[in-house]
Amino acid sequence: MLKFKNSAKNLIAVTRTTYSRYYSTLEPAEHAPGQEENEAWLTSLENSNFDENFYFKKISNEKPKEYQKTPYRFINEDTDTGIMNINLLINTQTIKSSPYSSLSARQRPKAESNFSDVRVLKLSSGNGGNGSISFFRDAGRSIGPPDGGDGGQGGSIYIQAIEGLTSLNKLKQSYRAGDGEKGQQRQLDGATGKDILINVPVGTIVKWIPDPLILKEQGKEVQDYIEYPVEARGETMEDYDPKFIQIRRDDYKVGEGWLFKDNDKTEEWHKDKEFFNTLNMKVSKYDEKIIKEEEVGDLFPLHGLDLSQPSPAPILLLKGGTGGLGNMHFLTNDVRNPRFCKKGRKHLQGHFLFELKLLADLGLVGLPNAGKSTLLRAISNARPRVGHWEFTTLQPTIGTISLGFDKDSFTVADIPGLIKGASQNKGMGIDFLRHVERSGGLVFVISLGNNDPVADFEVLLNEMGERVQNKNILVAATKADLENTQERFVKLKEFVEKQNGWKIIPVSAQNQENIENLILLMGECAGKL
Ligand SMILES: Nc1nc2c(ncn2[C@@H]2O[C@H](COP(=O)(O)OP(=O)(O)OP(=O)(O)O)[C@@H](O)[C@H]2O)c(=O)[nH]1
């Protein structure tokens, strides 16, 4: 049999009588699928039985119709998507306002340049490259068999929580993965678009949110939406409790997405031809498969992705578009001269809210200037800022405390001081409490240098509200080295011990007094002893 190679040097000249004879006696270009292979592939598509249940189960409860106009839809099936572990679902937490909103302009840039725990990012994956329409050519022959390669896969956006990061401030405002390149002649597939991997600190929660600009136009606040992802849009329905958001690609439907080579023989011309319609019916099955895979793959947990552990591998957030098929796939018995290929599938785009909740075993809670940072310096390797003025601590610091070489160590988070009215956003507000929210225990740091430590403790308990529930509590009465603190300590001890038998210990962080005992009690509070 005569060989038709894709290199001119290897080409064996053939004399052809008719076009069809030419094709029936020649094999196509070296790696391009041949006519027989294409026929077999199209037949397999025709007979293929995609697990419709698998795909449609997830969207069967999709309601109501008008939501479908939006570029996203809610899905309420609680099924594993195959790319994301459902166990990662968490409850939505409230975000009220910028943690820095109440700071003076002088303080703000300092705080924001080093630390950021809430960010909104615009993310887009890449478009799939278009297929290519090309025919083998050489000097002796004006046109050969189709050899147009496939478009490259669009780049995807991945996220990975890694240890050693403590802030979201390095993230950019938007990320866009690369587009797949278009297919090339000689069966060359287009290059794959560049993926993007976003590294975040362990403890980051990622939530999908609608475009903040659109929300603004509608007079809605991103914050409201985050607090009640569905309710704030007035879209809650009885028995409708969506678990996923499906961000949709504004793209061609099954049987569409063809690109044609000739200006005069466009889609209209082809749609009149039986050979094209027959082929399109078969290729539609391929479209269906790709689109169904997108429906499943493009789901995101509505209540967010909680990266509370280092991610063993990057997690796919937004998948790039699939590359379009080149014309080499469409050479069949009926289609001798496929002057068409498929477009690449489009990218996905969405806005995501990144919220960092540092993960420490214990949280230090106290009024400004109570001595929290000094205490953390005394007991751990952390070096938080210490000052004589209030609100020295503008960003949370985490210290690690060792209980000895044969015991677990534990971590302690120092957060900015709370003041009366903090829950109404006074001082630094209470947004920083997100960083002690997931701690098993809280250590209240009360200064014995203040006149009425009991009243101080009451202020803190008021501001903390229900946040103290289900937590181990310890009170560190600090600055015990100061004069006349004995009597204050006795009163405070009495008050503390009345509260569910909580423990209290006097210390002087400055003079390193009673620190060993404090560490032991803290280890107990952290559940490590
Ligand atoms: N005498 C004495 N002074 C202390 C002790 N601990 C802290 N101080 C002083 O109290 C002041 C406040 O200490 P910080 O550790 O910055 O207090 P903070 O609670 O972290 O303050 P904010 O950052 O405002 O929340 C500093 O001047 C410290 O030197 C102590 O045990 N004894």
Decide whether any atom of ligand 1 lies within 6 Å of the 513 Cβ: no
State the distance from the centre of ligand 1 to the C-alpha of 370, rounded, in angstroms: 5
Q: What CATH class is the domain 8-98+107-356? A: mainly beta
| Edge-to-edge strand ranges of the sheet holding 204-209 | 174-176, 118-124, 349-356, 204-209, 305-307
Decide whether any atom of ligand 1 lies within 6 Å of the 481 Cβ: yes
Q: What is the mean pLDDT of the chain?
A: 74
Decide whether any atom of ligand 1 lies within 6 Å of the 171 Cβ: no
Predicted local confidence at residue 423, as pLDDT: 67
pLDDT at 253 over 90: no
Decide whether any atom of ligand 1 lies within 6 Å of the 514 Cβ: no
pLDDT at 48 over 50: yes
pLDDT at 408 over 70: yes
Highest mean pLDDT among 70-79, 307-316, 511-520: 511-520
Decide whether any atom of ligand 1 lies within 6 Å of the 478 Cβ: yes
Decide whether any atom of ligand 1 lies within 6 Å of the 391 Cβ: yes
ipTM at complex level: 0.96
To test the pocket of ligand 1, the residue of 115, 367, 373 to mutate (highest count of ligand atoms within 8 Å of its CB) is: 373
Predicted local confidence at residue 85, as pLDDT: 29
CB 328 within 8 A of CB 342: no
pLDDT grade, residue 126 (50/70/90)? very high
Ligand 1 atom nearest 376 alpha carbon: 15
Decide whether any atom of ligand 1 lies within 6 Å of the 479 Cβ: yes
Residue whose tokens read 């997931």: 438
Predicted local confidence at residue 228, as pLDDT: 47
State the distance from the centre of ligand 1 to the C-alpha of 449, rounded, in angstroms: 10
Decide whether any atom of ligand 1 lies within 6 Å of the 368 Cβ: yes
pLDDT at 375 over 50: yes
State the distance from the centre of ligand 1 to the C-alpha of 451, rounded, in angstroms: 15
State the distance from the centre of ligand 1 to the C-alpha of 527, rounded, in angstroms: 27
pLDDT at 469 over 90: no
Q: pLDDT tens across 333-348, in order?
A: 888 888 899 999 999 9
To test the pocket of ligand 1, the residue of 365, 369, 484 to mutate (highest count of ligand atoms within 8 Å of its CB) is: 369
To test the pocket of ligand 1, the residue of 385, 386, 395 to mutate (highest count of ligand atoms within 8 Å of its CB) is: 386
Decide whether any atom of ligand 1 lies within 6 Å of the 371 Cβ: yes
pLDDT at 249 over 60: yes
Q: pLDDT tens across 26-40, in order?
A: 344 456 677 888 888
pLDDT at 154 over 50: yes
Decide whether any atom of ligand 1 lies within 6 Å of the 39 Cβ: no
State the distance from the centre of ligand 1 to the C-alpha of 117, rounded, in angstroms: 25
User: Which residue stretches of 57-169 are H helix?
Assistant: 107-114
Ligand 1 atom nearest 414 alpha carbon: 20
Amino acid at 190: G
CB neighbour class for 107 (10 Å; exposed up to 12, middle 13-18, buried from 19): middle
Residue nearest to atom 8 of ligand 1 (CA): 371
pLDDT at 462 over 60: yes
Predicted local confidence at residue 52, as pLDDT: 43
pLDDT grade, residue 431 (50/70/90)? low
Instruction: State which fold the 362-525 domain adopts.
Output: Rossmann fold (3.40.50)
pLDDT at 138 over 50: yes
Predicted local confidence at residue 131, as pLDDT: 93
Residue nearest to atom 21 of ligand 1 (CA): 369
Ligand 1 atom nearest 392 alpha carbon: 23
Q: pLDDT tens across 435-446, in order?
A: 777 788 999 999
Mean pLDDT on 481-510? 90
SS3 track for 236-300:
CECCECCCEEEECCCCCCCCCCEEECCCCCCHHHHHCCHHHHHHHHHHHHHHHHHHHHHHHHCEE
CB 131 within 8 A of CB 151: yes
Residue whose tokens read 């594993």: 80
Residue nearest to atom 26 of ligand 1 (CA): 388
How do the domains of the chain map onto residue ranges? 8-98+107-356, 362-525
173-187, 227-241, 316-330, 343-357: least confident range = 227-241
User: Phi, psi at residue 428, to the nearest 5°?
Assistant: -90, 5
186-190-191-192 Cα dihedral, nearest 10 degrees: -140
Decide whether any atom of ligand 1 lies within 6 Å of the 510 Cβ: yes
The pair of structure tokens assigned to 70 is 């939006």
**Residue of 49 and 104 predicted with greater confidence:** 49
State the distance from the centre of ligand 1 to the C-alpha of 257, rounded, in angstroms: 67
To test the pocket of ligand 1, the residue of 374, 460, 515 to mutate (highest count of ligand atoms within 8 Å of its CB) is: 374
pLDDT grade, residue 114 (50/70/90)? low
Decide whether any atom of ligand 1 lies within 6 Å of the 93 Cβ: no
Residue by residue, DSSP assigns 439-473 as -SEEEEEEETTSS-HHHHHHHHHHHHGGGGTTSEE
Decide whether any atom of ligand 1 lies within 6 Å of the 369 Cβ: yes
**Residue of 193 and 5 predicted with greater confidence:** 193
Mean pLDDT on 112-131? 82
**Pairwise CA distance, residues 382 & 388, whole Å:** 19
Decide whether any atom of ligand 1 lies within 6 Å of the 366 Cβ: yes
Predicted local confidence at residue 127, as pLDDT: 96
State the distance from the centre of ligand 1 to the C-alpha of 369, rounded, in angstroms: 5
8-98+107-356 and 362-525: identical CATH topology: no
Predicted local confidence at residue 521, as pLDDT: 92
Q: In the 8-state DSSP scheme, what is residue 187?
A: T
- What distances in angstroms separate CA 273 from CA 260, 270, 331, one per listed residue? 14, 5, 16
Decide whether any atom of ligand 1 lies within 6 Å of the 387 Cβ: yes
